[in-house]
Amino acid sequence: MTRLQATLALAALMSTTAVAAAQEDSRAPRGDDALGASASEFLAKDGETLYLTACAGCHQPQGQGAIGAGSYPPLAGNPRLEGGRYPAWIVLNGISGMPALGGYMDDAQVVAVVSYIQQNLGNRYEATLTENDVAALRDAPAP
């Protein structure tokens, strides 16, 4: 066995051992729960967790928005969020570079995340959106 082969074998063994140890550690994240989402749905029910899981990657944790590979408008202090129907329609159907999340969130989750962004991130809007509003927006044309 060459020195390179021995080094690669040792690295593979160490990697396998580390993965096994992490799987046995009761504190190690497991499956979909660790991600907050599965391939077919978001698992969280509260608005803050949904925001951090589904939105913060682009809009940033404090809602400041970003410009890079795309343009992600700020949600912090955004007057367009005062009414819940507009942001709910966007969450459901997507717009520009934002993907539609309606197939991954139920009506209660959409209400939760919209209410969160309306009342946090520097916003102090009244959250009046209901699950019935969201259900009606699923098939509605753009506002």
142 domain residue, yes or no: no
> Which of 4 and 87 is assigned the larger pLDDT?
87
Q: How far is CA 42 from the centre of its chain?
A: 8
Query: Is 60 exceeded by the pLDDT of residue 6?
Result: no
- Asked whether residue 86 falls in the same domain as residue 17, the answer is no
60 domain residue, yes or no: yes
pLDDT tens digits, 88-133 = 999 999 998 899 999 999 999 999 999 999 999 999 999 999 999 9
Angle, helices 107-119/85-93, rounded to nearest 10 degrees = 130
End-to-end Cα separation, the chain, in angstroms: 68
Using the structure block, give the residue that is written with the tokens 């997507």. Answer: 94
The pLDDT of residue 63 is: 96
The pLDDT of residue 40 is: 72
- Asked whether residue 105 falls in the same domain as residue 55, the answer is yes
- Asked whether residue 52 falls in the same domain as residue 115, the answer is yes
- Asked whether residue 23 falls in the same domain as residue 47, the answer is no
- Asked whether residue 8 falls in the same domain as residue 76, the answer is no
The pLDDT of residue 143 is: 74
- What CATH code is carried by the domain that includes residue 100? 1.10.760.10
Q: Residues 138, 139, 140, 143: is their CA dihedral positive or negative?
A: positive
- Asked whether residue 54 falls in the same domain as residue 24, the answer is no
- Domain containing residue 55: 36-137
Helix (H, G, I), strand (E, B) or coil at 95: strand
The pLDDT of residue 102 is: 95
Count: domains in the chain: 2
83 domain residue, yes or no: yes
117 domain residue, yes or no: yes
pLDDT tens digits, 25-46 = 433 344 445 446 776 788 899 9
- Asked whether residue 77 falls in the same domain as residue 128, the answer is yes
Full-model pTM: 0.73
